[in-house]
Amino acid sequence: MTAILPVSAARNARAEAPATIDAPAGASAEVLTAALRSRILAAHSATFALESWCADHKLAADPRLVAERLAGPDKPLTAAQRVRLGIGPDEPVRYRRVRLACGDRVLSEADNWYVPARLTADMNATLDGTRTPFGRVVRTLAPVRRTVAVRAGNQTGAHGPSDPLFEVDAVLTTGAGLPFCEVVETYLGSALPQAQH
């Protein structure tokens, strides 16, 4: 990953980018990537932003996302992440790594750390036992996203299906302002309409 945008730039991008920003038919990969990034930064839910992107660009017959769990060791939270979540060093946190797929396209991969005590028992059970995307599970919390950082991906101009387009770090809070999740999302070349998959 290269080209880190300062947090202020990420916040400004989110504030200035309407959720309906889009690219014209036949747009270049760079224009499409910028449109997708603007849509994600303007949204309160990456799940629903990706589903609308998938529907608008007809990436699959059914634009509903599925979260494919990835096996592997848990990644521990950093001290800075615990501060952003407003939790102490001993507060239990769960980790979930997923690929978000629309049809046969994997649009993004995400590392997700969440505070189970700030979710309902039903939400925790759904996250543990299903392929439901996080954004859909926590929708009743009226989540609000705060962008922490945005990093540019592949700058060579070539965008294969698994090439990273950009990364977003964000904290999710309830509508009342209580932080309950931090995510690191990597958006992939397969999200571009012309990508071979």
At residue 5 the predicted structure's pLDDT band, cuts being 50, 70 and 90, is very low
pLDDT in tens, 91-130: 999 999 999 999 999 999 999 999 999 999 999 999 999 9
Q: What is the pTM of this model?
A: 0.85
Residue 174 reports pLDDT greater than 70: yes
pLDDT at 38: 95
Residue 8 reports pLDDT greater than 50: no
At residue 11 the predicted structure's pLDDT band, cuts being 50, 70 and 90, is very low
pLDDT in tens, 56-80: 999 999 999 999 999 999 999 999 9
pLDDT at 89: 92
Residue position matching structure tokens 């916040």: 11
* Three-state SS letters, 56-117: HCCCCCCCCCEEEECCCCCCCCCHHHHHHHCCCCCCCCEEEEEEEEECCEEEEEEEEEECHH
pLDDT at 85: 97
